[in-house]
Amino acid sequence: MKRYEFLLFDADGTLLDFDRCEEKALRDTLRHYKIPADAKTVHLYHQINAALWEQFNCGEIDRPYLLHRRFEQLCEQLGRQDDPAQMNHYYMQQLSCHADLLEDAADVCNVLFKKYKLYIITNGASLTQHGRFSVCPLTPLFQNLFISEDMGVQKPQKAYFDAVAAAIPGFAPDRALVIGDSLSSDILGANQAGLDCCWYNPQAAEKPASISCTYEIRRLRQLLEILR
């Protein structure tokens, strides 16, 4: 088994339960603006937001456009006249308060912390990610937090991983492993940067042949078996 030293963890969907955090923040926002926080409205937002994030990960749109457009489009489809910029700001303030962990995240990171240098690599917005990691119990286990908005470049661009590598003392690409749930962001980015990667795939989704994974796991705890 290859010996690793640097473990680069995606945050949302890998360690943090973004779905639960997002649900809390979104429902708080809808209620604040007196919009029914029912399943139909929540589903509509998720559809809009997911499509925009895919465009962002592909480099088709920038972050300011994404953050503004998701609530602008939601208001358009709901026939609302609310200010999408203010709505997004309120939402992100709510989101920054939540750092719910996925199953096994705490146990796995506490074990790996003893033998490896752990880092966070995330495309999340700076305001929300700094806020969430200020209250996240895992934060003391990580050497650094690399937020794409702070760095001016995002996953899966090779420039993002180059910037991360340059910021880590003694970084060696052949001793680094990227761990993430997103094929289009984490795994494709690792491929383009020439780094080994572990795809966290709890839903057993299919992988296109154009993307390669060094490892694939269904549960985060399986990472301990790989790194044993």
Catalytic (active-site) positions: 10
CA distances for 64 relative to 13, 36, 47, 85, angstroms: 22, 26, 18, 10
130: which 2 tokens? 């700094």
> Distance between CA 187 and CA 56 in Å, rounded?
16
| DSSP secondary structure letters along the chain | -----EEEE--BTTTB-HHHHHHHHHHHHHHHTT----HHHHHHHHHHHHHHHHHHHTTSS-HHHHHHHHHHHHHHHHT----HHHHHHHHHHHHTT--PBPTTHHHHHHHHTTTSEEEEEE-S-HHHHHHHHHH-TTGGG-SEEEEHHHHT--TT-HHHHHHHHHHSTT--GGGEEEEES-IIIIIHHHHHHT-EEEEE-TT-----TTS--SEEESSTTHHHHHT-
> Distance between CA 173 and CA 189 in Å, rounded?
13
